[in-house]
Structure 1
Amino acid sequence: MIRHHPDQNMLLEYAAGSLPWGMSLAVSSHLQLCPQCRQQHEDLNDIGGALLNESEPQIVETDAFAKLMGRLDQEQHQAQDEDTGPTEVEEPPVPTQPKKAGADPILANLPKVVGKLVSSNRPLKWKRVSSALRTSRLATGQDRYEVAFQRICRGGRVAEHDHRGREVTVVLVGSFSDADGVYCRGDFLLREPGDVHRPIATQDQECLCLSVLEAPVKVTGPLGWLVNPFLSFRPN
Protein backbone atom coordinates (compact mmCIF):
# COMPACT_ATOMS: atom_id res chain seq x y z
CA MET A 1 0.00 0.00 0.00
CA ILE A 2 1.32 3.44 -0.97
CA ARG A 3 1.46 5.77 2.05
CA HIS A 4 3.70 8.62 0.92
CA HIS A 5 2.65 11.04 -1.83
CA PRO A 6 3.55 14.43 -3.37
CA ASP A 7 1.84 17.30 -1.58
CA GLN A 8 -0.98 19.29 -3.17
CA ASN A 9 1.29 22.16 -4.19
CA MET A 10 3.60 19.85 -6.12
CA LEU A 11 0.66 18.12 -7.83
CA LEU A 12 -0.76 21.52 -8.75
CA GLU A 13 2.55 22.65 -10.25
CA TYR A 14 2.76 19.37 -12.16
CA ALA A 15 -0.78 19.75 -13.53
CA ALA A 16 -0.06 23.36 -14.51
CA GLY A 17 3.15 22.37 -16.31
CA SER A 18 5.28 24.64 -14.10
CA LEU A 19 7.15 21.93 -12.19
CA PRO A 20 10.78 21.54 -13.36
CA TRP A 21 11.35 18.56 -15.65
CA GLY A 22 13.50 16.63 -13.18
CA MET A 23 10.84 16.79 -10.47
CA SER A 24 8.09 16.17 -13.03
CA LEU A 25 9.77 12.89 -13.91
CA ALA A 26 9.52 11.72 -10.29
CA VAL A 27 5.87 12.82 -10.00
CA SER A 28 4.98 11.10 -13.28
CA SER A 29 6.61 7.88 -12.06
CA HIS A 30 4.58 8.04 -8.86
CA LEU A 31 1.33 8.77 -10.71
CA GLN A 32 1.72 5.65 -12.83
CA LEU A 33 1.88 3.59 -9.63
CA CYS A 34 -0.59 5.49 -7.42
CA PRO A 35 -4.32 5.61 -8.38
CA GLN A 36 -5.06 8.04 -5.55
CA CYS A 37 -2.73 10.75 -6.86
CA ARG A 38 -3.67 9.93 -10.44
CA GLN A 39 -7.28 10.77 -9.59
CA GLN A 40 -6.22 14.03 -7.93
CA HIS A 41 -4.23 14.92 -11.03
CA GLU A 42 -7.27 14.28 -13.24
CA ASP A 43 -9.42 16.45 -10.94
CA LEU A 44 -6.90 19.29 -11.13
CA ASN A 45 -6.87 19.04 -14.93
CA ASP A 46 -10.69 19.19 -14.96
CA ILE A 47 -10.65 22.30 -12.76
CA GLY A 48 -8.04 23.93 -14.97
CA GLY A 49 -10.07 23.15 -18.08
CA ALA A 50 -13.21 24.63 -16.52
CA LEU A 51 -11.38 27.82 -15.55
CA LEU A 52 -9.98 28.10 -19.06
CA ASN A 53 -13.44 27.78 -20.59
CA GLU A 54 -14.78 30.53 -18.32
CA SER A 55 -11.96 32.98 -18.99
CA GLU A 56 -12.20 35.84 -21.47
CA PRO A 57 -10.71 35.13 -24.92
CA GLN A 58 -7.32 36.74 -25.48
CA ILE A 59 -5.55 37.65 -28.68
CA VAL A 60 -2.26 35.81 -28.92
CA GLU A 61 0.56 35.82 -31.42
CA THR A 62 0.36 33.12 -34.10
CA ASP A 63 3.70 31.59 -33.14
CA ALA A 64 2.77 31.42 -29.46
CA PHE A 65 -0.56 29.80 -30.28
CA ALA A 66 1.10 27.22 -32.53
CA LYS A 67 3.59 26.35 -29.77
CA LEU A 68 0.78 26.00 -27.24
CA MET A 69 -1.24 23.72 -29.50
CA GLY A 70 1.86 21.65 -30.21
CA ARG A 71 2.49 21.20 -26.50
CA LEU A 72 -1.13 20.20 -25.84
CA ASP A 73 -1.01 17.70 -28.70
CA GLN A 74 2.24 16.22 -27.35
CA GLU A 75 0.78 15.87 -23.84
CA GLN A 76 -2.35 14.22 -25.23
CA HIS A 77 -0.31 11.62 -27.11
CA GLN A 78 1.85 11.05 -24.03
CA ALA A 79 -1.23 10.47 -21.90
CA GLN A 80 -2.56 7.95 -24.43
CA ASP A 81 0.78 6.13 -24.48
CA GLU A 82 0.91 5.88 -20.69
CA ASP A 83 -2.53 4.19 -20.56
CA THR A 84 -3.19 5.01 -16.92
CA GLY A 85 -6.28 2.78 -16.70
CA PRO A 86 -9.02 2.83 -14.03
CA THR A 87 -8.62 4.63 -10.71
CA GLU A 88 -9.80 2.11 -8.11
CA VAL A 89 -7.44 2.01 -5.14
CA GLU A 90 -7.50 -1.76 -4.99
CA GLU A 91 -5.13 -3.48 -7.40
CA PRO A 92 -4.03 -0.41 -9.39
CA PRO A 93 -2.84 -1.04 -12.96
CA VAL A 94 0.92 -0.76 -13.32
CA PRO A 95 2.11 0.23 -16.81
CA THR A 96 5.33 -1.63 -17.48
CA GLN A 97 7.92 -2.17 -20.13
CA PRO A 98 8.17 -5.67 -21.64
CA LYS A 99 11.00 -7.82 -20.34
CA LYS A 100 13.81 -8.37 -22.83
CA ALA A 101 15.94 -11.48 -23.07
CA GLY A 102 19.03 -11.16 -20.91
CA ALA A 103 17.73 -7.97 -19.26
CA ASP A 104 18.37 -7.17 -15.61
CA PRO A 105 15.32 -8.61 -13.79
CA ILE A 106 15.10 -5.67 -11.41
CA LEU A 107 14.31 -3.45 -14.41
CA ALA A 108 11.55 -5.69 -15.76
CA ASN A 109 8.44 -4.05 -14.26
CA LEU A 110 9.05 -0.33 -14.22
CA PRO A 111 6.56 2.49 -14.94
CA LYS A 112 6.58 3.36 -18.63
CA VAL A 113 8.13 6.78 -18.13
CA VAL A 114 11.06 5.15 -16.30
CA GLY A 115 11.28 2.34 -18.85
CA LYS A 116 11.73 4.92 -21.59
CA LEU A 117 14.62 6.45 -19.63
CA VAL A 118 16.25 3.04 -19.33
CA SER A 119 15.91 2.46 -23.08
CA SER A 120 17.51 5.81 -23.90
CA ASN A 121 20.38 5.21 -21.45
CA ARG A 122 21.36 1.66 -22.42
CA PRO A 123 23.65 0.17 -21.44
CA LEU A 124 23.25 1.35 -17.85
CA LYS A 125 26.54 2.01 -16.06
CA TRP A 126 26.41 0.99 -12.40
CA LYS A 127 28.86 2.54 -9.94
CA ARG A 128 29.49 0.86 -6.58
CA VAL A 129 29.27 3.52 -3.88
CA SER A 130 29.56 1.07 -0.98
CA SER A 131 29.10 -2.62 -0.28
CA ALA A 132 25.35 -1.99 0.05
CA LEU A 133 24.69 0.61 -2.65
CA ARG A 134 25.13 0.93 -6.40
CA THR A 135 24.00 3.90 -8.45
CA SER A 136 23.44 4.61 -12.14
CA ARG A 137 23.05 8.16 -13.43
CA LEU A 138 20.44 8.74 -16.14
CA ALA A 139 20.68 11.36 -18.88
CA THR A 140 17.41 13.30 -19.05
CA GLY A 141 18.21 16.35 -21.18
CA GLN A 142 18.01 18.91 -18.36
CA ASP A 143 20.75 20.61 -16.36
CA ARG A 144 19.20 21.36 -12.96
CA TYR A 145 18.75 17.98 -11.27
CA GLU A 146 20.74 14.79 -11.07
CA VAL A 147 18.49 11.83 -11.92
CA ALA A 148 19.72 8.36 -10.98
CA PHE A 149 18.84 4.85 -9.90
CA GLN A 150 19.78 3.91 -6.34
CA ARG A 151 20.08 0.13 -5.88
CA ILE A 152 20.39 -1.29 -2.35
CA CYS A 153 21.24 -4.95 -1.84
CA ARG A 154 19.11 -7.21 0.37
CA GLY A 155 19.43 -6.03 3.95
CA GLY A 156 21.88 -3.37 2.83
CA ARG A 157 22.53 -0.34 5.02
CA VAL A 158 23.30 2.91 3.23
CA ALA A 159 25.63 5.33 5.02
CA GLU A 160 23.85 7.98 7.08
CA HIS A 161 23.80 11.19 5.08
CA ASP A 162 22.58 14.78 5.09
CA HIS A 163 20.87 16.60 2.22
CA ARG A 164 22.30 19.87 0.92
CA GLY A 165 19.33 20.40 -1.40
CA ARG A 166 15.94 18.85 -2.05
CA GLU A 167 15.87 15.17 -2.96
CA VAL A 168 12.88 13.22 -4.24
CA THR A 169 12.90 9.43 -4.07
CA VAL A 170 10.36 7.11 -5.69
CA VAL A 171 10.51 3.46 -4.66
CA LEU A 172 10.26 1.27 -7.77
CA VAL A 173 11.14 -2.22 -6.50
CA GLY A 174 11.28 -3.67 -3.00
CA SER A 175 11.24 -1.49 0.11
CA PHE A 176 13.49 0.21 2.63
CA SER A 177 13.18 1.84 6.02
CA ASP A 178 14.77 4.60 8.05
CA ALA A 179 14.12 6.23 11.42
CA ASP A 180 10.92 7.80 10.08
CA GLY A 181 9.19 4.72 8.67
CA VAL A 182 8.98 2.05 5.97
CA TYR A 183 8.72 2.89 2.25
CA CYS A 184 7.36 0.47 -0.35
CA ARG A 185 6.82 0.35 -4.12
CA GLY A 186 5.26 3.58 -5.33
CA ASP A 187 6.04 5.65 -2.22
CA PHE A 188 7.18 9.22 -2.91
CA LEU A 189 9.61 10.86 -0.47
CA LEU A 190 10.72 14.49 -0.41
CA ARG A 191 13.79 15.28 1.67
CA GLU A 192 14.63 18.90 2.46
CA PRO A 193 18.08 20.41 3.12
CA GLY A 194 19.23 19.40 6.58
CA ASP A 195 17.30 16.12 6.68
CA VAL A 196 19.47 13.23 7.87
CA HIS A 197 18.58 9.58 7.36
CA ARG A 198 20.01 6.11 6.79
CA PRO A 199 18.05 3.85 4.40
CA ILE A 200 18.06 0.11 5.14
CA ALA A 201 16.66 -2.35 2.59
CA THR A 202 14.53 -5.30 3.67
CA GLN A 203 16.10 -8.75 3.87
CA ASP A 204 13.84 -10.42 1.27
CA GLN A 205 14.80 -8.53 -1.92
CA GLU A 206 16.85 -5.75 -3.50
CA CYS A 207 15.47 -2.24 -3.43
CA LEU A 208 15.52 0.02 -6.51
CA CYS A 209 14.68 3.72 -6.25
CA LEU A 210 14.58 6.62 -8.66
CA SER A 211 16.20 9.69 -7.12
CA VAL A 212 16.10 13.32 -8.23
CA LEU A 213 18.62 15.60 -6.46
CA GLU A 214 19.27 19.31 -6.72
CA ALA A 215 22.53 19.13 -4.71
CA PRO A 216 24.98 16.42 -3.59
CA VAL A 217 24.39 14.55 -0.34
CA LYS A 218 26.89 14.64 2.52
CA VAL A 219 27.86 11.51 4.47
CA THR A 220 27.64 12.29 8.18
CA GLY A 221 29.23 9.15 9.67
CA PRO A 222 32.82 8.64 10.88
CA LEU A 223 34.13 8.17 7.33
CA GLY A 224 32.38 11.23 5.92
CA TRP A 225 35.61 13.22 5.76
CA LEU A 226 37.05 10.50 3.52
CA VAL A 227 34.01 9.81 1.33
CA ASN A 228 32.52 13.29 0.76
CA PRO A 229 35.28 14.64 -1.54
CA PHE A 230 34.48 11.81 -3.98
CA LEU A 231 30.71 12.37 -4.05
CA SER A 232 30.26 14.14 -7.36
CA PHE A 233 27.06 15.82 -8.56
CA ARG A 234 26.18 15.90 -12.27
CA PRO A 235 22.82 17.33 -13.38
CA ASN A 236 21.86 15.76 -16.70
Structure 2
Amino acid sequence: MSNWHPTNDQLLEFASGTGSSAMSIAISTHLHFCQACRHQVHDNESMAAVLFEEQTRADLAGDGFDRLMSRIQNEPTVSAPKAPKAPSRFPPVIEKLIHKDTESLDWRSPMKNLRVSQLLKDETGLILGLHHMKSGGRVPHHTHRGNEISVVIEGGFSDEMGSYGPGDFIHLAGEHFHSPQADADGDCWLLSLVEAPVKLTGPLGWLVNPFLKP
Protein backbone atom coordinates (compact mmCIF):
# COMPACT_ATOMS: atom_id res chain seq x y z
CA MET A 1 0.00 0.00 0.00
CA SER A 2 1.30 3.45 -0.90
CA ASN A 3 2.12 5.83 1.95
CA TRP A 4 2.91 8.88 -0.17
CA HIS A 5 0.23 10.30 -2.46
CA PRO A 6 -0.58 13.13 -4.89
CA THR A 7 -2.37 16.13 -3.39
CA ASN A 8 -6.15 16.46 -3.68
CA ASP A 9 -5.64 19.29 -6.18
CA GLN A 10 -3.41 17.08 -8.33
CA LEU A 11 -5.98 14.28 -8.29
CA LEU A 12 -8.73 16.76 -9.17
CA GLU A 13 -6.73 18.09 -12.13
CA PHE A 14 -6.11 14.51 -13.27
CA ALA A 15 -9.82 13.63 -13.05
CA SER A 16 -10.80 16.75 -14.97
CA GLY A 17 -8.11 16.24 -17.63
CA THR A 18 -6.50 19.63 -17.02
CA GLY A 19 -3.09 18.40 -15.83
CA SER A 20 0.01 18.28 -18.02
CA SER A 21 0.89 15.12 -19.95
CA ALA A 22 3.87 14.21 -17.76
CA MET A 23 1.95 14.81 -14.52
CA SER A 24 -0.95 12.68 -15.80
CA ILE A 25 1.46 9.83 -16.53
CA ALA A 26 2.99 10.11 -13.05
CA ILE A 27 -0.43 10.06 -11.38
CA SER A 28 -1.59 7.16 -13.59
CA THR A 29 1.46 5.23 -12.42
CA HIS A 30 0.59 5.92 -8.78
CA LEU A 31 -3.05 4.91 -9.33
CA HIS A 32 -1.87 1.53 -10.60
CA PHE A 33 -0.75 0.79 -7.03
CA CYS A 34 -3.08 2.89 -4.87
CA GLN A 35 -6.71 1.90 -4.39
CA ALA A 36 -7.48 4.86 -2.11
CA CYS A 37 -6.48 7.39 -4.77
CA ARG A 38 -8.35 5.45 -7.46
CA HIS A 39 -11.48 5.85 -5.33
CA GLN A 40 -10.75 9.56 -4.93
CA VAL A 41 -10.37 10.02 -8.69
CA HIS A 42 -13.62 8.10 -9.24
CA ASP A 43 -15.43 10.39 -6.78
CA ASN A 44 -13.98 13.45 -8.52
CA GLU A 45 -15.10 12.15 -11.91
CA SER A 46 -18.58 11.42 -10.56
CA MET A 47 -18.83 14.94 -9.15
CA ALA A 48 -17.69 16.42 -12.47
CA ALA A 49 -20.31 14.33 -14.31
CA VAL A 50 -23.09 15.65 -12.07
CA LEU A 51 -21.94 19.25 -12.57
CA PHE A 52 -21.75 18.69 -16.33
CA GLU A 53 -25.27 17.23 -16.35
CA GLU A 54 -26.64 20.20 -14.44
CA GLN A 55 -24.90 22.60 -16.82
CA THR A 56 -26.19 20.65 -19.83
CA ARG A 57 -29.77 20.94 -18.60
CA ALA A 58 -29.33 24.68 -18.31
CA ASP A 59 -27.91 24.85 -21.84
CA LEU A 60 -30.74 22.91 -23.53
CA ALA A 61 -32.89 25.98 -23.94
CA GLY A 62 -33.34 27.22 -27.52
CA ASP A 63 -31.15 25.30 -29.97
CA GLY A 64 -29.04 23.72 -27.19
CA PHE A 65 -30.73 20.33 -27.62
CA ASP A 66 -30.01 20.28 -31.36
CA ARG A 67 -26.33 21.08 -30.73
CA LEU A 68 -26.10 18.29 -28.14
CA MET A 69 -27.66 15.70 -30.48
CA SER A 70 -25.29 16.75 -33.26
CA ARG A 71 -22.30 16.20 -30.98
CA ILE A 72 -23.57 12.76 -29.94
CA GLN A 73 -24.13 11.67 -33.56
CA ASN A 74 -20.66 12.83 -34.57
CA GLU A 75 -18.83 11.09 -31.73
CA PRO A 76 -16.47 8.34 -33.01
CA THR A 77 -17.67 4.78 -32.58
CA VAL A 78 -16.15 3.02 -29.58
CA SER A 79 -14.53 -0.27 -30.56
CA ALA A 80 -15.14 -3.47 -28.63
CA PRO A 81 -12.78 -4.04 -25.71
CA LYS A 82 -9.67 -6.03 -26.50
CA ALA A 83 -8.73 -9.25 -24.79
CA PRO A 84 -6.61 -8.65 -21.69
CA LYS A 85 -2.85 -8.89 -22.19
CA ALA A 86 -0.44 -10.91 -20.15
CA PRO A 87 0.65 -9.24 -16.89
CA SER A 88 3.30 -6.55 -17.44
CA ARG A 89 6.36 -5.88 -15.37
CA PHE A 90 5.57 -2.18 -15.03
CA PRO A 91 2.24 -0.29 -14.98
CA PRO A 92 0.65 -0.21 -18.46
CA VAL A 93 1.24 3.53 -18.92
CA ILE A 94 4.99 2.94 -18.44
CA GLU A 95 5.05 -0.10 -20.71
CA LYS A 96 3.57 2.03 -23.51
CA LEU A 97 6.37 4.58 -23.13
CA ILE A 98 9.08 1.91 -23.11
CA HIS A 99 7.68 0.27 -26.29
CA LYS A 100 9.98 -2.79 -26.33
CA ASP A 101 11.99 -3.27 -23.17
CA THR A 102 14.13 -1.19 -20.84
CA GLU A 103 17.38 -2.11 -22.60
CA SER A 104 16.12 -0.55 -25.83
CA LEU A 105 16.00 2.89 -24.18
CA ASP A 106 18.68 5.55 -24.49
CA TRP A 107 20.46 5.37 -21.13
CA ARG A 108 22.92 7.75 -19.49
CA SER A 109 24.95 6.89 -16.39
CA PRO A 110 25.74 10.21 -14.69
CA MET A 111 27.13 8.40 -11.64
CA LYS A 112 27.90 4.94 -10.32
CA ASN A 113 24.87 2.87 -9.29
CA LEU A 114 22.46 5.03 -11.33
CA ARG A 115 21.34 5.25 -14.95
CA VAL A 116 18.68 7.54 -16.36
CA SER A 117 16.61 7.57 -19.55
CA GLN A 118 14.51 10.56 -20.60
CA LEU A 119 11.12 9.32 -21.80
CA LEU A 120 9.59 12.63 -22.90
CA LYS A 121 9.40 16.38 -22.39
CA ASP A 122 5.80 17.52 -22.26
CA GLU A 123 4.00 20.64 -23.44
CA THR A 124 4.82 22.52 -20.22
CA GLY A 125 8.53 21.68 -20.30
CA LEU A 126 8.36 19.01 -17.59
CA ILE A 127 10.87 16.19 -18.12
CA LEU A 128 9.68 12.62 -17.55
CA GLY A 129 12.40 10.04 -17.00
CA LEU A 130 13.04 6.48 -15.90
CA HIS A 131 15.67 5.93 -13.21
CA HIS A 132 17.36 2.63 -12.40
CA MET A 133 19.27 2.43 -9.10
CA LYS A 134 21.31 -0.70 -8.46
CA SER A 135 20.59 -2.73 -5.33
CA GLY A 136 22.13 -0.99 -2.31
CA GLY A 137 23.43 1.85 -4.47
CA ARG A 138 23.42 5.39 -3.13
CA VAL A 139 22.97 8.61 -5.10
CA PRO A 140 25.24 11.43 -3.83
CA HIS A 141 23.77 14.20 -1.70
CA HIS A 142 21.86 16.66 -3.91
CA THR A 143 19.13 19.26 -4.09
CA HIS A 144 16.70 20.25 -6.83
CA ARG A 145 16.65 23.26 -9.11
CA GLY A 146 12.85 22.98 -9.26
CA ASN A 147 10.05 20.68 -8.22
CA GLU A 148 10.63 16.94 -8.60
CA ILE A 149 8.13 14.11 -8.31
CA SER A 150 9.28 10.51 -8.06
CA VAL A 151 7.04 7.45 -8.26
CA VAL A 152 8.49 4.09 -7.24
CA ILE A 153 7.52 1.43 -9.76
CA GLU A 154 9.67 -1.48 -8.57
CA GLY A 155 11.84 -2.11 -5.52
CA GLY A 156 12.34 0.67 -3.01
CA PHE A 157 14.70 3.24 -1.55
CA SER A 158 15.19 5.40 1.51
CA ASP A 159 16.60 8.83 2.29
CA GLU A 160 16.75 11.30 5.17
CA MET A 161 12.98 11.78 5.06
CA GLY A 162 11.72 8.20 4.96
CA SER A 163 11.45 4.88 3.17
CA TYR A 164 9.53 4.34 -0.04
CA GLY A 165 8.09 1.38 -1.92
CA PRO A 166 6.07 0.66 -5.07
CA GLY A 167 3.48 3.32 -5.81
CA ASP A 168 4.82 5.97 -3.45
CA PHE A 169 4.45 9.45 -4.94
CA ILE A 170 7.23 11.65 -3.53
CA HIS A 171 7.18 15.42 -4.10
CA LEU A 172 10.42 17.33 -3.48
CA ALA A 173 11.23 21.01 -3.98
CA GLY A 174 14.30 23.23 -4.02
CA GLU A 175 14.57 23.34 -0.23
CA HIS A 176 14.98 19.55 0.04
CA PHE A 177 18.44 17.95 0.29
CA HIS A 178 18.77 14.18 0.28
CA SER A 179 20.89 11.17 -0.64
CA PRO A 180 18.64 8.29 -1.79
CA GLN A 181 19.81 4.70 -1.33
CA ALA A 182 18.20 1.71 -3.03
CA ASP A 183 17.09 -1.17 -0.81
CA ALA A 184 19.62 -3.95 -0.43
CA ASP A 185 17.25 -6.71 -1.59
CA GLY A 186 16.77 -5.55 -5.18
CA ASP A 187 17.19 -2.83 -7.77
CA CYS A 188 14.94 0.23 -7.59
CA TRP A 189 13.07 1.60 -10.60
CA LEU A 190 11.65 5.11 -10.43
CA LEU A 191 9.59 7.33 -12.65
CA SER A 192 10.72 10.94 -12.25
CA LEU A 193 9.10 14.22 -13.19
CA VAL A 194 11.38 17.26 -12.99
CA GLU A 195 11.38 20.93 -13.92
CA ALA A 196 15.20 20.99 -14.09
CA PRO A 197 18.12 18.61 -13.45
CA VAL A 198 19.26 17.93 -9.89
CA LYS A 199 22.24 19.76 -8.41
CA LEU A 200 24.84 17.72 -6.54
CA THR A 201 25.96 19.37 -3.31
CA GLY A 202 28.82 17.06 -2.28
CA PRO A 203 32.57 17.69 -2.72
CA LEU A 204 32.58 16.55 -6.36
CA GLY A 205 29.33 18.22 -7.33
CA TRP A 206 31.15 20.86 -9.40
CA LEU A 207 32.63 18.06 -11.53
CA VAL A 208 29.48 16.02 -12.15
CA ASN A 209 26.79 18.73 -12.36
CA PRO A 210 27.54 19.71 -16.00
CA PHE A 211 26.75 16.12 -17.06
CA LEU A 212 23.30 16.18 -15.42
CA LYS A 213 21.78 18.51 -18.01
CA PRO A 214 18.94 16.94 -20.08
TM-score normalised to structure 2 length: 0.84
Tell me by how many angstroms 1:121 deviates.
8.3
Please list, as runs of the form range in 1=range in 2, the aligned pairs for 1:152-163 lying within 5 A after superposition: 152-163=133-144
Is 1:193 paired with 2:174?
Answer: yes
Residue 137 (structure 1) aligned with residue 118 (structure 2) = yes
- Cα distance change, pair 10–141 in 1 and its aligned pair in 2 (3 A): closer
Q: SS in structure 1 opposite 2:99?
A: helix
Verify the 8 A CA contact 2:134 2:186 in the aligned structure 1. yes
Q: How far apart in 1 are the matches of 2:52 and 2:185? A: 50
Instruction: Tell me by how many angstroms 1:43 deviates.
Output: 0.5
Alignment check: 8 A CA contact 1:117 1:140 kept: no
In the alignment, which of 170, 173, 198 is matched to residue 154 of structure 2? 173
1:56-95 to structure 2, matched below 5 A, reads 56-57=58-59
| Matched residue SS, 2:111 | coil
Indicate the larger mover: 138-147 or 219-228. Answer: 138-147
Distance 1:141 1:163 in 2: 19
C-alpha distance in 2 between matches for 1:146 and 1:52? 33
1:194 positional shift: 2.3
| Matches for 1:17-28 after TM superposition, within 5 Å | 17-28=17-28
Question: Which residue in 2 is equivalent to 1:105?
Answer: none
One-letter code aligned to 1:171: V
Distance 1:2 1:190 in 2: 14
In structure 1, give the amino acid aligned to 2:155. G
2:129 touches 2:192 (CA, 8 Å); kept in 1? Answer: yes
Secondary structure of 2:135's match? coil
Give unpaired runs (5+ residues) of structure 1. Answer: 84-96, 100-107
Contact 2:146 2:173 in 1 (8 A): yes
- Equivalent residue for 1:112? 92
My pick for the range that moved more, 140-149 or 219-228, is 140-149
1:159 deviates by 1.1
Deviation at 1:230, TM superposition (A): 1.8
Same amino acid, percent of matched pairs: 38
Tell me which of 102, 105, 109 is aligned to 1:128: 109
Residues 146, 195 of structure 2: 8 Å contact kept: yes
Pick which of 138-147 and 22-31 moved more.
Answer: 138-147
1:120 Cα deviation after fit: 6.9
- Assess if the C-alpha contact under 8 Å between 2:110 and 2:208 holds in 1: no
Structure of greater Rg:
2
- Normalising by structure 1, we get a TM-score of 0.77
Deviations 1:165-190 (A, max 9, x none): 11111100100000110000111111
Deviation at 1:140, TM superposition (A): 5.9
CA contact (8 A) 2:21 2:122 kept: no
Secondary structure of 1:197's partner? coil
Q: Displacement, 1:139?
A: 3.2
Amino acid at match of 1:113: V
Report if aligned partners of 1:121, 1:139 keep a CA contact under 8 Å in 2.
no
In the TM superposition, residue 193 of structure 1 has moved relative to its aligned partner by 2.1
Evaluate the alpha carbon distance shift between residue 143 and residue 8 of structure 1 in structure 2; reply closer, same or farther with a 3 A threshold.
closer
Q: What do residues 121-145 of structure 1 show as CA deviations (whole Å, max 9, x unaligned)? A: 8721221121111111113664611
CA contact (8 A) 2:119 2:129 kept: yes
Aligned to 1:182: 163
- Paired residue secondary structure (2:2): coil
